[in-house]
Structure 1
Amino acid sequence: MSRVLRASAIMAAGTMVSRVTGFIRSAVLVAALGSAQMGDAYTVANAIPFILFDFLIGGILSSVVVPMIVRRQKSDIDGGRAYEQRLMTVGTITLTLLTVVAVLLARPLIGLYTSDWSPRRIEVAVTLAQFVLPQIAFFGIGALAGAILNTRDRFAAPMWAPVLNNVVMIAVLVLYYLKAGSAGADVGTVSEADLALLGLGTTAGIVVQCLVLMVSLHKVGFRFRPRFDLREAGLGEMVRTGSWTLVYVSVTQLGFLVTTNIASGAGAKAAGAGNTAYAQAFQLFQLPYGIIAVSVITAMLPRMSRSAAEGDLDSIREEFSSGVRLVASLLVPAGLLLMVLGPAVTVMIYSWGNNNPDDAVYIGNVLQVFGLALVPFSIFQLLLRVFYAFGDTRTPVFIGAGNTAVSIALSFLASAVLPARYVVMGLAFALTVSYIAGTGVAWALASRRVRGLQGRVVAAGLSRMYMAALPAAAAALGVLWLTQELTDLNPLSAAIMLAAGGGLGMVLYLVIAHRMRIPEVSSVVGMVAGRVGR
């Protein structure tokens, strides 16, 4: 566990700064665009590059490329250097072609993800999409560079590079707000020049992020020289293995398509309760997951891939079990605190500029529902890496298909029976239920694959963590009630709630968990105390 903890701590530090600056970016974004029509137009347009990247490239990078690079580093005479050159060559060509095609198809792509929008709103979204779609190439090349860095146990740059992206975007959004004012939140009055500033500025942030990763890759000795001897690139193996990943991403994107259309339709009927509310709540929900779970996942996959290649199932079981318990030791209290303090978080962040305070509260209500999903979502992602370590991308497809089927069914049910104002909360609940079910199925299959995942040890650890976290949630709830009795909910009172309720809750949890001798919490406390004492 100590190795995972050290590697995860390095990445968590970068991710923490990235997420904090991401908080600021989100606050400035909603202040400049609002969370109604203009905010939804930007949210959908800016999501499409990432959708296309994940659909065609991203899933293969996360599940296939890292294990393949690790194997070639062990088997090739040159340590896999030529193989990495071929991958970068193929990736650059493919991503460039994909970007050109995507820009040409911007209008039908926007139409695919919207419902009941006015012609002007669609036109604004199409214009923004044409400016932001070039992100695909830069984001993809940067992701490939990050994958190569990870296989060399260099985790810092991929976690710190998004910070610069956020800084660029904050500057762009502040400039946009100062230039456009209240007109910048109205699709009917926003100018073409303002849309160009917003769209090109968004792409500029990703360009900077990519450059940082390429510079870091150069520092560890990688020199990009195009290689076209692609017969040695292992593309056949990649296609065979990655085809299942492509199916998996297709299945999950089907769920996203349904969610986006339902949310956009709800937003058209109830301002502030559409795509922006869902996207911002989901981003905040991802904060603890991104800081804690992603760091552990990134450190685990190369190690489990090496153990799988050597047939060492004991190491895989231990790596996974310790990773789950380490992740849960902080995500358990975080999930409960999100369920209590969700509106306080969003009022503090989003009650500024062109956004309505009531809409900020609504984002917080959605965040409260997402709090239920935090632990099962994170464990589910850890479970998928067990399959990926063996090069098995087929099993996650069937698990993902079941997840998506549950989510889609519940999403349509929410759209049919709930008032428009509550539909997005229903979508968040649908996602929560789907990941609870998916985690159960994935655990059973992964446990069979490696002959046990130390389930009793993990269950006992989670039970003790929840016992330690419940008093923390109760304390935060008490602070919330007392603050609301004394004053109305506004950014200042929300900040007090978070500082007092969230701070007291986490301190109480750490003290109780430490007294209960939960080893994962004791390791975290000991590491922090050691660093503070230096």
Structure 2
Amino acid sequence: MAAGSVVSRATGFLRSAVVAAALGLGLTADGYAVGNSVPTIVYMLLLGGALNAVFVPELVKAAKQHEDGGAAYTDRLLTVCVLALLVITGAAVWAAPAIVGAYTDYTGGQASMTVAFARYCLPQIFFLGLFTLLGQVLNARGRFGAMMWTPVLNNVVVVAVFGLYLASGDGGSLTAAETALLGWGTTAGIAVQALALVPALRAARFGFRPRFDWRGSGLTRPLRSAGWLVLLVLTNQAAYWVTTRLATSAGRHAQAAGIDGGAGFSAYNNAYLLWAVPHGIVTVSLVTALIPRMSAAAADGDTTGVRRDLSYALRTSSAAVVPAACALFALAQPVMALVFGYGETDAEDIAVMAGTLMAFAPGLIAFSGQYVLSRTFYALSDTRTPFLLNLVIAGLNAGLSVSFYALLPARWAVTGIAGAYSLALFAGWAVTASVLNRRLTPRDARAPALWRSATAAAQARLLTAAVPAALVGHVTAHWAAPGGAAAATAVGAVSLCAVFLLLARPLRLAGITSLVGGAATRIRRRH
């Protein structure tokens, strides 16, 4: 499963590089970035968060409680969700101008181009939802691979579409036909990604039959839980609305001031995409595999089992995520040049994205930890508490973003906005950990909170090693910079990893030792 995620992220790098090479980081790139982000915004706002958090625990419970293994319940839940997706998609396409207007202050040709991109991309809502629904059915049945591998097909389609544009375009302003090609091509990638799950469902012997006998079927409970998730997503999207408005405004102001470097939303978006890669490969893959087991333990009242899986998820994910965060911080400049330094992207663009990535990097640790903790609440069928705790992150993110935007010059505004998100994530992570600790600590004082003691100590030791590792990685990458971005990245990464390995024994970094030992064992078996 992790291998599929790695290949997916690798092809995602290629996709992002091709898009940046085709559009650069100016207002055209901002228009595409906003238009392509709108479907995900609307989807997550109205349905996506609920599907991700509620679906697997509900299917696991239904399999335990119904004589047919939950087949009829699954059909009813899928029917409700597919109908909701169709309605939401149609309404969003119709309301595209209003949606774009809510997230940007564009006027004239820039507004028209962005609305066109949004209209071509908004049908993605249906396919995003379908991909999530079918993938969660597979996850509930213990089949995780397909959902990790099919995004590769999405990336291949988009790379082909933008490659066609690069081969045939003149590099000037987009024509109506080119806008349609890029917009519909991006949507085609999501459609292929969703439909590619069908063979895996057939292999799992899953057959869907629409059912409309919803009365008295038990759908009220997941819908009630989904309501809290919708509220959670609303708060996240309120903060994201602030971020998008500020970042797009920063891009316009930077261009008006004659500042080269595309210091707008596309720079923020590209840095975010790269920043989230380790989380997607490590934490999401790990938690996706654990959620069915944690949900089953929670349904059986086995709190010890939930705590054991939570402890394992936190320790294992942090062993990879902390070094990754150090690498993103120390190697931001050469990594950005390696991934995005082609075509319309110049050195100033790279500098803006590198600064933004450095501001994001520390927050990756909290982002990953927060994800594990919130999914534990979902496994416990509690969506209300994560909503209340998420108010801390969303509120701080919005407030700090506004403050940094007002205080910093246009060139550094998006960097400040990224830093605001990192600070908000750490605050939310601390509060969430405290609440979940009280929730899972046994009332019997003689039984310790397993995840608290083990994980807190492991995190502290990892963070102790992170400082010298990041410093050494940055210095060696700078020393190797004359050899090119690839050489600087490789030298910096090797140096950084070497520091973690050297400190693994004296600091008792068990997670690092386990990862290295497991890799070495697999290599020996292959040979």
Deviation at 1:245, TM superposition (A): 0.7
Tell me, yes or no, if the aligned pair for 1:337 and 1:502 is still in contact at 8 Å. Answer: yes
Partner of 1:190: 174
Is it true that 1:522 corresponds to 2:506 in the alignment?
Answer: no
Deviation at 1:208, TM superposition (A): 0.7
Is it true that 1:376 corresponds to 2:366 in the alignment?
Answer: yes
Partner of 1:103: 93
Q: Separation in 1 of the partners of 2:217 and 2:244?
A: 37
Partner of 1:503: 494
Q: Separation in 2 of the partners of 1:439 and 1:334?
A: 18
Tell me, yes or no, if the aligned pair for 2:225 and 2:383 is still in contact at 8 Å. Answer: yes
Q: Separation in 2 of the partners of 1:483 and 1:391?
A: 51
Is it true that 1:466 corresponds to 2:463 in the alignment?
Answer: yes
- What one-letter code is carried by the residue in structure 1 that aligns with 2:519? V
Is it true that 1:212 corresponds to 2:188 in the alignment?
Answer: no
Deviation at 1:197, TM superposition (A): 0.6
- What one-letter code is carried by the residue in structure 2 that aligns with 1:158? M
Tell me, yes or no, if the aligned pair for 2:24 and 2:344 is still in contact at 8 Å. Answer: yes
Partner of 1:140: 129
Partner of 1:494: 485
Tell me, yes or no, if the aligned pair for 1:110 and 1:126 is still in contact at 8 Å. Answer: yes
Distance 1:356 1:27, change over 3 A: same
Partner of 1:416: 406
TM-score computed with the length of structure 1 as normaliser: 0.93
Tell me, yes or no, if the aligned pair for 1:89 and 1:226 is still in contact at 8 Å. Answer: yes
Is it true that 1:170 corresponds to 2:159 in the alignment?
Answer: yes
Moved more, 64-73 or 449-458: 449-458
Partner of 1:156: 145
Tell me, yes or no, if the aligned pair for 1:343 and 1:362 is still in contact at 8 Å. Answer: no
Tell me, yes or no, if the aligned pair for 1:399 and 1:442 is still in contact at 8 Å. Answer: yes
Is it true that 1:274 corresponds to 2:264 in the alignment?
Answer: yes
What whole-Å deviation, never above 9, does each CA across 1:65-91 have from its counterpart, x for those lacking one? 111111001111010111111222222
Q: Separation in 2 of the partners of 1:75 and 1:287?
A: 37
Is it true that 1:179 corresponds to 2:176 in the alignment?
Answer: no
Is it true that 1:483 corresponds to 2:472 in the alignment?
Answer: no
Partner of 2:218: 234
Is it true that 1:428 corresponds to 2:418 in the alignment?
Answer: yes
What whole-Å deviation, never above 9, does each CA across 1:423-449 have from its counterpart, x for those lacking one? 111111110111111011101111111
* SS of equivalent residue, structure 2 residue 170: helix
Is it true that 1:295 corresponds to 2:285 in the alignment?
Answer: yes
Tell me, yes or no, if the aligned pair for 2:52 and 2:132 is still in contact at 8 Å. Answer: no
Partner of 1:5: none
Tell me, yes or no, if the aligned pair for 2:323 and 2:466 is still in contact at 8 Å. Answer: yes
Q: Separation in 2 of the partners of 1:396 and 1:147?
A: 20
Is it true that 1:199 corresponds to 2:177 in the alignment?
Answer: no
Partner of 1:387: 377
- What one-letter code is carried by the residue in structure 2 that aligns with 1:338? L
- What one-letter code is carried by the residue in structure 2 that aligns with 1:400? N
Q: Separation in 2 of the partners of 1:173 and 1:284?
A: 19
Q: Separation in 2 of the partners of 1:453 and 1:339?
A: 32
* SS of equivalent residue, structure 2 residue 146: helix
Partner of 2:259: none
Deviation at 1:511, TM superposition (A): 4.7
TM-score computed with the length of structure 2 as normaliser: 0.94
Partner of 2:325: 335
- What one-letter code is carried by the residue in structure 2 that aligns with 1:145? L
Partner of 2:72: 82
Partner of 2:446: none
- What one-letter code is carried by the residue in structure 2 that aligns with 1:532? I
Q: Separation in 2 of the partners of 1:122 and 1:234?
A: 45
Deviation at 1:467, TM superposition (A): 3.4
Distance 1:88 1:454, change over 3 A: closer
Q: Separation in 2 of the partners of 1:25 and 1:349?
A: 10
Deviation at 1:453, TM superposition (A): 5.4
Deviation at 1:454, TM superposition (A): 2.9
* SS of equivalent residue, structure 1 residue 182: coil
Distance 1:103 1:453, change over 3 A: farther
Tell me, yes or no, if the aligned pair for 1:70 and 1:306 is still in contact at 8 Å. Answer: yes
What whole-Å deviation, never above 9, does each CA across 1:400-458 have from its counterpart, x for those lacking one? 11211111111111111111111111111110111111011101111111113532321
Q: Separation in 2 of the partners of 1:77 and 1:289?
A: 38
- What one-letter code is carried by the residue in structure 2 that aligns with 1:213? L
Q: Separation in 2 of the partners of 1:217 and 1:414?
A: 47
Partner of 1:6: none
Is it true that 1:345 corresponds to 2:335 in the alignment?
Answer: yes
- What one-letter code is carried by the residue in structure 1 that aligns with 2:311? S
Correspondent of 1:130 among 105, 119, 127: 119
Deviation at 1:481, TM superposition (A): 2.9
Is it true that 1:457 corresponds to 2:442 in the alignment?
Answer: no
Distance 1:390 1:120, change over 3 A: same
Deviation at 1:514, TM superposition (A): 5.2
Partner of 1:47: 37
Tell me, yes or no, if the aligned pair for 2:480 and 2:491 is still in contact at 8 Å. Answer: no
What whole-Å deviation, never above 9, does each CA across 1:329-387 have from its counterpart, x for those lacking one? 11111111211111111111112111222112210110011111011111011110121
Is it true that 1:16 corresponds to 2:10 in the alignment?
Answer: no
* SS of equivalent residue, structure 1 residue 225: coil
Tell me, yes or no, if the aligned pair for 2:478 and 2:488 is still in contact at 8 Å. Answer: no
Q: Separation in 2 of the partners of 1:454 and 1:86?
A: 37
* Gaps in structure 2 of 5+ consecutive residues: 256-261, 442-448
Partner of 1:257: 241
- What one-letter code is carried by the residue in structure 1 that aligns with 2:175? S
Deviation at 1:325, TM superposition (A): 0.8
Q: Separation in 1 of the partners of 2:217 and 2:85?
A: 17
Q: Separation in 2 of the partners of 1:521 and 1:480?
A: 22
* SS of equivalent residue, structure 1 residue 230: coil
Tell me, yes or no, if the aligned pair for 1:387 and 1:393 is still in contact at 8 Å. Answer: yes
User: Which ranges of 4 or more aligned residues in structure 1 deviate by more than 4 Å?
Assistant: 514-517
Deviation at 1:473, TM superposition (A): 2.1
Q: Separation in 1 of the partners of 2:230 and 2:93?
A: 22
Deviation at 1:300, TM superposition (A): 2.1
Distance 1:111 1:51, change over 3 A: same
Tell me, yes or no, if the aligned pair for 2:32 and 2:114 is still in contact at 8 Å. Answer: yes
Q: Separation in 1 of the partners of 2:134 and 2:494?
A: 37
- What one-letter code is carried by the residue in structure 2 that aligns with 1:166? N
* SS of equivalent residue, structure 2 residue 263: coil
What whole-Å deviation, never above 9, does each CA across 1:293-315 have from its counterpart, x for those lacking one? 11111122211111111111111
Tell me, yes or no, if the aligned pair for 1:370 and 1:432 is still in contact at 8 Å. Answer: yes
Q: Separation in 2 of the partners of 1:232 and 1:273?
A: 54
